[in-house]
């Protein structure tokens, strides 16, 4: 798998149906129902109908878990922050608005 393809769509993902999964993940949290329907159809064409269900369940579970952690103020362990520094920098994860709370907490340590 090529993690950089998560933030650079012109790169190959290295995963069967990877591009379709990325398009689905981008549209599932958007507001364009037509784009979402097209992404579902393309994903089903490439990986089968069960993949659409699996991708939707995965996206929903991630969103739920992320919101719970943010709401509770659960921080990332300092060791994890240290070990993931390179990948967070490479993918630009520290630039996400939601990273603000984690980074603020880590600076307080």
Q: Which residues contact 81 (CB under 8 A, 6 or more apart)?
A: 102, 106
| pLDDT over threshold 70, residue 87 | yes
Q: What is the pLDDT of residues 50-73, one digit of tens each?
A: 999 999 999 999 888 877 877 777
Instruction: Quote the pLDDT of residue 109.
Output: 47
Instruction: Quote the pLDDT of residue 106.
Output: 64
């Amino acid at each position: 798998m090529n993690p950089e393809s998560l933030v650079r769509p012109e790169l190959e993902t290295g995963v069967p149906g990877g591009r379709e999964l990325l398009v689905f993940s981008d549209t599932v949290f958007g507001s364009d129902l037509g784009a979402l329907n097209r992404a579902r159809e393309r994903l089903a064409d490439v990986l089968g109908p069960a993949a659409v269900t699996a991708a939707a369940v995965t996206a929903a579970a991630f969103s739920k878990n992320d919101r719970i952690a943010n709401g509770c103020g659960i921080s990332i362990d300092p060791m994890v922050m240290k070990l993931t520094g390179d990948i967070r920098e490479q993918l630009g994860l520290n630039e996400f608005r939601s990273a603000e709370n984690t980074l603020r907490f880590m600076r307080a340590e």
